[in-house]
Amino acid sequence: MNNYKFEAGDIIAFSHGEYSDYLIQGIFKATMSIDLTVLLERWEEKEGKKNRGMSFIGWLNRQQLIEEVLYREVWTGAYGRTEVSDY
């Protein structure tokens, strides 16, 4: 299975960072069949490798290859403690 190929309607959670600066940048739905490795190469040819992260996601969105999924986050606890909160 290639984790970078998506079919129309697939949900994609884009993330960035490591350890304490890890975060989900957004949740999107593929609007058509896409291969992110191919699209990243195409984007880098146009934009250059200096731009990363959110600008790639924005480019995918402007190309109408993905669309943002509105969602709400519910925090369910940490360090063995379970609760429900808007964190």
Model pLDDT, residue 4: 93
Residue 50 has pLDDT above 70, yes or no: no
pLDDT at 1: 53
Task: Say what the pTM is.
Answer: 0.78
Selected residue with higher pLDDT from 59 and 82 = 59
Higher pLDDT: 15 or 33? It is 33
Copy the structure tokens of residue 7: 């079919």
CA atoms within 13 A on the CB side of 60: 28
- Within 10 angstroms of residue 42's Cβ, the number of other Cβ atoms is 12
> To the nearest whole number, what is the mean pLDDT of the chain?
86
